[in-house]
Structure 1
């Protein structure tokens, strides 16, 4: 990915390994402890420190904290393996010294490990200029890889056509769970103090990250509801926390961020009314995603003709090449995954009060933002029109999935969603969320919902 002084190896069904030379680190025999054990971002860095290396740990840590919030440092192999094995929701970017082949063999098939970076730091006389260059290269590669991972790491839910005879109880429950969360958001009442509660929560979990603390202060001072889309597109605490909470279905965090999501939905609706609602031209946009084969078969291929939704504010592009370049970069280091190009068709002439979308071209984004971005509101619903194998020289296993944005009066949608809109559901949301969790097979979270009711 354009990194200098690196050696890149792709291994099927294992995290890719990148080697850099001469990283210096400090002797350390203790495990890095976080003030809070809860993880609030999708990605984390685990750094296995070579006790024989030279001291530059604090310098490295200062740079790594600009990339992710959660860092763990280990000097004991067993403790490191135990920690990573117990990670279920997050993606791990692992940094290790060279000469640890047996350690790599122990952990290389852990799905939660996204990538491994190998550094040699055994020389005590290394030139500091070389050290800074290699550290800069490491951080730039990590930044790119984390960004790609975040883009790819979104939840997709789907449900088969009404005519299907397959047992889709779990799938449908997952689909309805995301839609119920959206329904509750639309009725979310803005409390005067909710933003302060959220920011205090953020300060607690970013207590060791001065850069994000500064951004939190900026948000507190300058955030306005009409700037919600700008903040979503900033690579900072609020977009990272939102992506994590939406993907992991963390209701308490989503509740704290309800004001922001509601502002997002309102701003997208306003932009939609000012732009797309006034045109008769259909919109075609693209989004790339990779999946494991069984996930693709169950969620997409077997549900052709059914419905699909992304549990996030989905950002797409009118430029197909942007989605294709993303897929090429992901497949280059994840050869075991399937490359999926979502081709999304949206007709502005259809009534889409619950599923608006907005062009980000006229939004006050930063100068590095790409033109042609289109953002769909939370958990919009698409119909899977077709799933076709695509011949692409750079990717052996690529599929194009044509999606059509569903209008508000689609019979399939009404059949599924109307039961969520009655007064009983909105009067007892935790009870109904718990029921859906049970249908999803997630009994632990269902129990948590019912305990809150009691």
Structure 2
């Protein structure tokens, strides 16, 4: 039976984290130096006459590769259809020859993977009649360049629809907020403390050279960034809607920390330029802006549920003062059977809000749209949702920029500030956040770079401590011991013998020894921590609860359940006196007591403590927190035994 008690490890940082994630090993992966799938789609060319040695085919392929790196060419219909069926989480743009169109389009049109179909033929007139029946056929072309132009427009529409949003229902708890909003918001706060420079821009450029090695158009854009990018031109570059725009929005939507850290210079420069323009423009009059895009049916359902609540645009957001411009985007999406077209109508009352936005008519590259750009995480109240012209796939959504006095909004922003490691700065602070987000490899990369640069011994000890914490979370206990001991060696040299930081190190080393099955060293380390705490802390300090809990864990791992139970009860008594009623550590102690009783065969008592644990934790942690989920499993297991 694989049932494990919960460990109480001295905090990796002085701030207690309230908003929690699914697990220490996040399911969101950093991309590393893999090819960046810029548009998250596949482009397919299907034509029976495709031949590698043909000059026209070579010419066509070269132009299509300038639009999308992931180009697949097929001359066999069955092979092509089979490939499309494997694309479960991607969209496909397909160019079909006129000779195959009438046969293939009915076969693939209703596949969810198909986004857009183009017919590439010799005589346009032959295909006008039959293509009218198929809404995903977006054009009939006799030359490749117009197809490339249409593909660009299609991918721009797809990317505009990929802007990350978070919906916050009016009765939703702060600690149950959408994690993309919380994590990207905290990333923005932390990145702002890092002094990015020319070296960081160059590092990003080199990264992009590798990503776009087969894409001449984007490589040219990359070289322009290298030569011409300046902090004061960030909005101009972003408004060009090239790889900078797509990559940043992709990173925010997928919470791709590797990409976001590399683009930290752009995030900072954009925010600061918008902030400066906002100060210079001194907007006071109430005005309205518009934003058109498509939402999936699932997202639209979330939007409807959140009416009366809040929504955040998590990325930098372009809006227009011209209603028809944004409505056109919304209508284009309403014609897509997989999407709902949305026209956001946003009321802005500048004197009531500290949100950062600016008019960029003199800066942006789209001069006829009279655009206003909002910085990341602009939060709006959802006022009204209504159909446009009684169209079931086209809606107008009225939003109002949140008032600074809005209690719900204030609570959310206070939560973000509390959780963004305010006691630290720069790259170290970023490492703390990435660790908490489960991005262990990226955090380790940052810490190791800091170790090589750091000259102050106390800061080196902190970095080694964080590396130990990372390795512990990755269950690499031998390396965790190594890093914790490096931190301890430094602290023993620079601190007094009874300094609380030494107790933290001893405690954490004891836990790791316990995981390794070295109970003698585990007990010795815990006793050293206890000796210091007795000299420096009050009798009811929660740290004593942590000590007894961890001694209980040691006994539990040894199979000595009566002594484990005794230690867990001591921890529970201390935490009941020193912590709030709904504190997660109190719930943890109840569950650990339940585990001990269960292993002793006392199932009714085990069930009672499991129920207490769940009742306590439901008031303080979200339902998808790993503790909550595991403890419910524990309860169901013991119910089957009683």
TM-score category of the 2 structures, normalised to the smaller one: 0.7 to 0.9
Match of 2:331 in 1: 328
- Please give the secondary structure, in 1, of the residue aligned with 2:96: strand
Distance 1:171 1:49 in 2: 48
- Please give the secondary structure, in 2, of the residue aligned with 1:370: coil
Q: Structure 1 length normalisation: TM-score?
A: 0.75
Structure 2, unaligned runs of 5 or more: 1-32, 124-139, 423-428, 440-469, 481-642
Instruction: Say if 2:298 is the partner of 1:294.
Output: yes
- Number of residue-to-residue matches in the alignment: 388
Match of 2:209 in 1: 203
Match of 2:186 in 1: 180
Instruction: Say if 2:253 is the partner of 1:232.
Output: no
Instruction: Say if 2:311 is the partner of 1:308.
Output: yes
Match of 2:612 in 1: none
Instruction: Check whether the contact 2:48–2:76 (CA below 8 A) recurs between aligned residues.
Output: no
Distance 1:132 1:452 in 2: 57
Match of 1:356 in 2: 356
The alpha-carbon deviation at position 401 of structure 1 amounts to: 1.2
Match of 2:398 in 1: 402
Match of 1:113 in 2: 114
Distance 2:232 2:251 in 1: 22
Instruction: Check whether the contact 1:176–1:417 (CA below 8 A) recurs between aligned residues.
Output: no
Distance 1:336 1:424 in 2: 37
- Please give the secondary structure, in 1, of the residue aligned with 2:362: coil
CA RMSD of superposed structures (Å)? 3.4
- Report matched runs for 1:198-277 at 5 Å: 198-275=204-281
- Please give the secondary structure, in 2, of the residue aligned with 1:193: helix
Match of 1:375 in 2: 373
- Between 218-227 and 342-351, the greater mean CA deviation after superposition: 342-351
The alpha-carbon deviation at position 49 of structure 1 amounts to: 4.2
The alpha-carbon deviation at position 451 of structure 1 amounts to: 5.0
The alpha-carbon deviation at position 246 of structure 1 amounts to: 2.1
Instruction: Check whether the contact 1:95–1:119 (CA below 8 A) recurs between aligned residues.
Output: yes
Distance 2:318 2:472 in 1: 31
Distance 1:141 1:370 in 2: 20
- Please give the secondary structure, in 2, of the residue aligned with 1:187: coil
The alpha-carbon deviation at position 402 of structure 1 amounts to: 1.2
Instruction: Say if 2:157 is the partner of 1:142.
Output: no
Distance 2:421 2:42 in 1: 37
Distance 1:301 1:90 in 2: 26
Distance 2:186 2:41 in 1: 27
Distance 1:88 1:262 in 2: 35
Instruction: Check whether the contact 2:39–2:155 (CA below 8 A) recurs between aligned residues.
Output: no
The alpha-carbon deviation at position 106 of structure 1 amounts to: 5.8
- Please give the secondary structure, in 1, of the residue aligned with 2:438: helix
1:420 to 411, 416, 423: 416
Q: Structure 2 length normalisation: TM-score?
A: 0.54
Alpha carbons of 1:55 and 1:83: their partners in 2 closer, same or farther (altered >3 Å)?
A: same
Distance 1:235 1:197 in 2: 21
Match of 1:60 in 2: 60
The alpha-carbon deviation at position 375 of structure 1 amounts to: 0.5
Instruction: Say if 2:407 is the partner of 1:411.
Output: yes
Q: Which has the larger radius of gyration?
A: 2
The alpha-carbon deviation at position 41 of structure 1 amounts to: 3.3
2:344 to 334, 342, 350: 342
Alpha carbons of 1:424 and 1:254: their partners in 2 closer, same or farther (altered >3 Å)?
A: closer
- Please give the secondary structure, in 2, of the residue aligned with 1:99: helix
Match of 1:430 in 2: 434
The alpha-carbon deviation at position 160 of structure 1 amounts to: 0.4
CA distances 1:103-149 after superposition (whole Å, capped 9, x unpaired) = 55664444343112233479xxxxxxxx9952233223223222222
Instruction: Check whether the contact 1:288–1:339 (CA below 8 A) recurs between aligned residues.
Output: yes
Alpha carbons of 1:79 and 1:184: their partners in 2 closer, same or farther (altered >3 Å)?
A: farther
The alpha-carbon deviation at position 209 of structure 1 amounts to: 1.9
Match of 2:45 in 1: 47
CA distances 1:330-373 after superposition (whole Å, capped 9, x unpaired) = 323x1453221111112221341xx301111121x34x532410
- Please give the secondary structure, in 2, of the residue aligned with 1:338: strand
- Report matched runs for 1:15-54 at 5 Å: 37-51=35-49
Match of 2:383 in 1: 385
Instruction: Check whether the contact 2:186–2:419 (CA below 8 A) recurs between aligned residues.
Output: no
